[in-house]
Amino acid sequence: MSASVYIVEEQTVVLPVRIREATSVYATFLVPVNAVKKLLPAGLTPLQTIPGRATCTIVGVDYREGDLGKYHEVGVCFLLRPPNGSRLDLVTMMRNQAPAYIHRLPVTTSFSCEAGRHIWGFPKDVMAIEFADTDVTRTVTLRDNGRLVLQLSAPRGGTKKFADIDIDAMGSWGGPVQVTPAQMAGDGVKAGFRSGQLVLGDHPIAEELRGLGLPKKPLIAGSIERFTGSFGEAHPL
């Protein structure tokens, strides 16, 4: 069988996996670089947006139509310095050239969980995730067996667009770090400086985020009303 075809829970998954409709909410924080290093596999270096500070992004995604079906997702991600990156880390981030290491990735279906783990090495677990929108905000709430993990709210209602952004997404569930080429395009983008709010619960993941100095005001927070994308074949780092 071709390496680009997988069987997950008796369903066939063909790469690249396509996302045909999704929406999201996100917040990016500046956190101590030494705290991030403790959460990364050996050999990975955090991107220092400013000296001593790394970039942590929490993102909630509502996948409405795609090859893995409908499901919700919450990610905790850290930007990394590219292998041949320069000292100009802020420039690297602004040009979308930084790989993203996915540290946590709860989802709402066992199928998307197993696919994420075994195809790409993404650290997925099944938890409860809910979205709620008002005219001006989007909120994602993550719970595990009834325990609040986190709740993130950010502004929505933007009009900006982006197209064909290439991202290297990294994960290391159950083995060495895997690198997955991904691509995104979207519209209805909203980004607010020092906006949004993060609330943490009493869950171990919440305590891990507190170890990064959260909650605090995000550097940037916002939402994407509609986006599409794809995930290709993973390869070892």
48 and 35 Cβ atoms separated by less than 8 Å: no
Q: What is the pLDDT of residue 3?
A: 60
What range defines the domain where residue 98 resides?
5-236
The per-residue pLDDT for 82 is 81
Amino acid at 145: N
pLDDT on residue 152: 98
pLDDT of residue 155: 97
pLDDT along the chain (237 residues), means of 10: 82 97 98 97 92 96 98 97 61 63 98 98 98 97 98 96 94 94 96 96 98 96 97 95
Confidence at residue 84, expressed as pLDDT on a 0 to 100 scale: 62
CB within 8 Å of 141: residues ≥ 6 apart: 129, 130, 131, 132, 148, 150, 151
Which CATH number covers residue 219?
A: 2.40.400.10
Q: Residue 10: name the closest of 160, 145, 111, 140 by CA.
A: 111
pLDDT for the residue 91:
46
Give the 3-state DSSP-derived string for the chain, with helices as H, strands as E and coil as C: CCCCEEEECCEEEECCEEEEEEEEEEEEEEEEHHHHHCCCCCCCCECEEECCEEEEEEEEEEEEEECCCCEEEEEEEEEECCCCCCCCHHHHHHCCCCCEEEEEEEECCHHHHHHHHHHHCCCEEECEEEEEECCCEEEEEEEECCEEEEEEEEECCCCEEEEEEEEEEEECCCCCCEEEEEEEEEEEEEEEECCCEEEECCCHHHHHHHCCCCCCCCCEEEEEEEEEEEECCCEEC
Q: What is the pLDDT of residue 86?
A: 53
pLDDT, position 85:
57
Q: What is the pLDDT of residue 103?
A: 98
Classify residue 173 by burial, with Cβ atoms within 10 Å: 0-12, 13-18, 19+: middle
The answer to whether the CB of 188 falls within 8 A of the CB of 225 is yes
Q: Which pLDDT score is estimated for 114?
A: 98
Q: Are 104 and 122 in contact (CB under 8 A)?
A: no
Domain total of the chain: 1
